């Protein structure tokens, strides 16, 4: 495990060093780079947020985070995640943007089509001391699983049907398709599961 951490830390150092060299107008004295800490966070997946969690945040209309799409303007206009803002990668890593994000003091969630470009951006943001996360799977996963959840097939339980209906409601609210009514814009209610209590047996009345 230590060998893997060292190799990952070395790789991170090289990538980060290259990116910081070409980072326009950056004050490198503000960056705090700790390869062991970063590699530990990456290996434990603490650098990511699941799409399912993000979808709940969007439905709940939380205001304590910024969702940033780092793809090109064209890709963003062709389809994006509800509540996201478009800051292409080159602009995201500019001095002005980094200063703005540091003053905002909100949790930052970044996404691209997959994870590669978002991971590079996350390295910079994290090293700059910004509380940031990568959307796991990016836009590709979001389109396939959040906006178009697969309907259960075969012999399914009532719980599985309920889970699918909840996912479908969330997908409709977020603008999903694949058989989901695109006109569904009502805010879905995400119900938490509660364990059913066993029914108490009625005591038989004894004869006189």
User: Which pLDDT score, from 0 to 100, does residue 45 have?
Assistant: 64
- Structure token pair of residue 110: 């970044």
Tens digit of each residue's pLDDT (9 = 90 or more) over 105-156 = 889 999 999 888 888 888 888 878 888 999 999 999 999 999 999 888 878 8
- The answer to whether the beta carbons of residues 95 and 24 sit under 8 Å apart is yes
Which residues, including other chains, have CB under 8 Å from residue 48's CB and lie 6 or more apart? 133, 134, 135, 136
Residue 133, helix vs strand vs coil: strand
Return d(Cα 166, Cα 164) in angstroms, integer.
5
Question: What domains are defined for the chain?
Answer: 2-143 (3.40.250.10), 148-189 (no CATH)
Tens digit of each residue's pLDDT (9 = 90 or more) over 1-60 = 444 445 544 455 545 554 554 454 555 555 555 656 666 666 666 788 999 999 999 999
Q: Residue 104 pLDDT more than 90?
A: no
Which residues, including other chains, have CB under 8 Å from residue 49's CB and lie 6 or more apart? 109, 133, 134, 135, 136
Q: How many CA atoms lie within 13 A of 111 on its CB side?
A: 27
Q: Give the DSSP H/E element, type plus range, for residue 49.
A: strand 48-49
**CB-based burial of residue 142 (10 Å sphere; 0-12 exposed, 13-18 middle, 19+ buried)?**
buried
User: Which pLDDT score, from 0 to 100, does residue 205 have?
Assistant: 45
User: Which pLDDT score, from 0 to 100, does residue 10 have?
Assistant: 46
Return d(Cα 42, Cα 115) in angstroms, integer.
12
Return d(Cα 68, Cα 92) in angstroms, integer.
9
Question: Among the ranges 76-90, 161-175, 187-201, which has the highest mean pLDDT value?
Answer: 76-90
- Three-state SS letters, 7-67: HHHHHHHHHHHHHHHCCCCCCHHHCCCCHHHHHHHHHCCCCEECHHHHHHHHHHCCCCEEE
**CB-based burial of residue 183 (10 Å sphere; 0-12 exposed, 13-18 middle, 19+ buried)?**
exposed
Q: Give the DSSP H/E element, type plus range, for residue 104.
A: helix 95-104
Residue 152, helix vs strand vs coil: coil
């Amino acid at each position: 495990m230590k060998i893997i951490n060292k190799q990952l830390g070395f790789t991170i150092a090289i990538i980060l060093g290259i990116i910081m060299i070409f980072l326009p107008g950056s004050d490198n004295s503000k960056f705090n780079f700790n390869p062991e800490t970063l590699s530990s966070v990456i290996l434990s997946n603490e650098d990511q947020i699941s799409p399912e969690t993000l979808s709940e945040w969007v439905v709940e209309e939380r205001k304590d985070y910024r969702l940033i799409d780092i793809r090109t303007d064209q890709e963003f206009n062709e389809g994006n995640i509800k509540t996201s803002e478009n800051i292409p990668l080159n602009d995201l890593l500019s001095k002005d943007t980094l200063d703005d994000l540091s003053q905002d003091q909100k949790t930052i969630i970044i996404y691209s089509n997959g994870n590669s470009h978002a991971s590079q951006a996350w390295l910079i943001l994290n090293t700059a001391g910004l509380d940031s996360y990568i959307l796991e799977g990016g836009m590709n996963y979001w389109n396939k699983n959040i906006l178009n959840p697969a309907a259960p097939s075969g012999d399914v339980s009532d719980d599985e049907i309920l889970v699918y209906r909840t996912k479908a409601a969330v997908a409709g609210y977020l603008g999903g398709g694949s058989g989901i009514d695109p006109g569904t814009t009502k805010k879905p209610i995400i119900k938490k599961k509660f364990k059913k209590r066993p029914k108490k047996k009625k005591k038989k009345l004894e004869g006189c």
